[in-house]
Amino acid sequence: MTSTRDRLIQSALELFTAQGVGNTTTRSIAERAEVNEVTLFRHFGNKHGLLLAVIEESSAFRHLGESLLNRASPTDNIGQALQAYTSECLAALERVPELVRSVVGEADRFPAENRRALGQGLTAANRYVAQYLAAAMDRGQLASSLPPEKLASLLNGMILGYAVIELTSEFHELWQDRADFLDAVVQLFLQGAVSPAGELVRSERHGSAPEVADLPANLVHEILQQAKKKGVQDFALAYVLFAAGLTPQELLKLERSHSIGDAHQHVLRVEARQVPVNQWVLGRRYGSYTANPLTRWLKSRKDGQAALFLNAEGQPLELPELQERWQTWTQGQVTPSGQPPQLEQARQTWCIDMLLRGISLENLSILTGLDLMQLQPYAQRAKERTAIAQATRLDQKASRLEIL
């Protein structure tokens, strides 16, 4: 049997949702719950106390954080879990649009103690998300310089901000649709505030430019050979990373139809631009434009999936799975700085190789989608490589002259 308290909360939710907080009286709530008004005051003090209980205890919001925490497991897909949680939160908020509008538009009418209580309610909602993220960090699935509580606040803040904008404004052009927002917020969260474990995420404080660290040729060819041993798709994945210079996110969005090749060139269509797939990778040729690791993978496909790369279940490959494959290919390998090779260093290596081959910064900007300012660290690294090579040649020349 439903308790009096629960009936009052449900009745308040229904009326707040239908007509807003300001237009709802305590008498109408009590009547809907089939109790007298004094009973409402005894349980909640006033309407704003009841509003707080609705937000904290209503079935429209309950269990969202708990459901996320319950997903925590060693095999959990972080991106899918966060996207499902975000989607569930938005669905809950969209079921009560007038309540959201009232909370936003009438907050200045709430007593100070109720505003504080609302804030405490939001803080409590963060705890489940923070616990989930902490568990993922403990398992080594996520790495971040921010504590789990801060990350949870960022995620929930973005979700609430989306709901407020969607439910209080029209005709904005901030995102295409809800799916577009969901994808963007999860990608930003995973690759901005949080990064897959082991991924190099460094920024120079001057202009927030990435620290560029390309990989030596012998290490790149060893990684490609290790990928080849794992199978035709792994070889194709590693090949595209080093031969086309895509980000992991761009690579994972590719579809089979995006690969376009003939005897004269092989390109990948990446959103609004095209990127060449090179035959040569750091001085070694990997087939031709029509016969290379990627085309061999495509010819071996017997499935009907549109995605270019697949996981073991035949579904589109996702970032954590790509990261795992990279770690398998690079196991036991170290860079000249003594660190394990990182996934994004494949793109950095390709960009610097293109510059050393003579491509202009303007053309590299067209191929990568990076602006000239973002490419400055790559240009500086290419200059360093050129200077070292020139100094080495001069030293070798002097050595030969001494012998003569």
Per-residue pLDDT band at 69 (split at 50, 70, 90)? low
55 domain-assigned: no
**Are residues 137 and 96 located together in one domain of the fold?**
yes
Structural domain boundaries enclosing 139: 60-196
- Please determine, for residue 36, whether its predicted confidence score (pLDDT) is greater than 70: yes
Question: What pLDDT, on a 0 to 100 scale, did the predictor assign at position 202?
Answer: 38
pLDDT of residue 205: 34
pLDDT at 73 over 60: no
The pLDDT, as a whole number, for residue 234 is 97
Supply the CATH number for residue 170's domain: 1.10.357
Q: Is residue 30 part of a domain?
A: no
| Residue 146 identity | L
Amino acid (one-letter) located at 320: P
192 & 229 share domain: no
| Residue 312 CB contacts under 8 Å (≥ 6 apart), including other chains | none
Query: What is the band of 203 on the pLDDT scale with cuts at 50, 70, 90?
Result: very low
Kindly state whether residues 323 and 375 are assigned to the same domain. Answer: yes
Q: Which of 17-26, 111-120, 181-190 has the highest mean pLDDT?
A: 17-26
Position 105 pLDDT exceeds 70: no
Residue 68, phi-psi category: left (phi > 0), alpha (psi -120 to 50), beta (remainder): alpha
User: Which tokens in the block code for residue 163?
Assistant: 């709901």
Q: Please indicate, yes or no, whether residues 183 and 253 belong to a single structural domain of this protein.
A: no
Q: Record the tokens describing residue 287, joined without a space.
A: 């087939």
Same domain, 243 and 314: yes
- Name the strand (E) or helix (H) holding 143: strand 142-143
Q: What is the mean pLDDT of the chain?
A: 82
| pLDDT at res. 152 | 82
233 with 313, same domain: the answer is yes
The set of long-range contacts for 71-75, using a CB threshold of 8 Å and a minimum separation of 24, is: 71/132, 72/131, 72/132, 72/135, 72/136, 74/139
Provide the number of structural domains found in the chain. 2
CB 220 within 8 A of CB 242: yes
Listed as own residue / partner, the contacts of 85-90 with beta carbons closer than 8 Å and 24 or more positions apart are 85/129, 86/155, 86/159, 86/182, 86/185, 86/186, 87/182, 88/64, 89/64, 89/156, 89/159, 89/163, 90/159, 90/162, 90/163, 90/178, 90/182
Q: In this structure, are 68 and 172 located in the same domain?
A: yes
Residue 399 placed within a domain: no
* 77 shares its domain with 154: yes
235 or 49, greater pLDDT? 235
Q: What is the pLDDT of residue 119?
A: 61
Supply the pTM of this predicted model.
0.51
In a domain, residue 402? The reply is no
Same domain, 356 and 302: yes
- 386: pLDDT confidence band, cut at 50, 70 and 90? very high
**pLDDT value at residue 251:** 95
On whether residue 5 sits in a domain, the answer given is: no
Predicted local confidence at residue 372, as pLDDT: 84
The letter for the amino acid at 303 is D
What average pLDDT does range 237-242 have in this prediction?
A: 97
Q: Which of 28-42, 44-58, 289-303 has the lowest mean pLDDT?
A: 44-58
pLDDT score of 201: 37
* Alpha-carbon 396 to chain mean position: 48
Place of tokens 């000239």: 372
- Between β-strands 195-196 and 142-143, what pairing exists: parallel, antiparallel or unpaired? antiparallel
Domain with 307 in it: what CATH number? 1.10.443.10
Poorest-pLDDT segment among 23-32, 112-121, 182-191, 272-281: 112-121
pLDDT one-digit tens code per residue, 352-377? 999 999 999 999 999 999 888 788 89
- Residues 138 and 167 placed together within one structural domain of the fold: yes
Position 208 confidence tier, pLDDT thresholds 50, 70, 90: very low
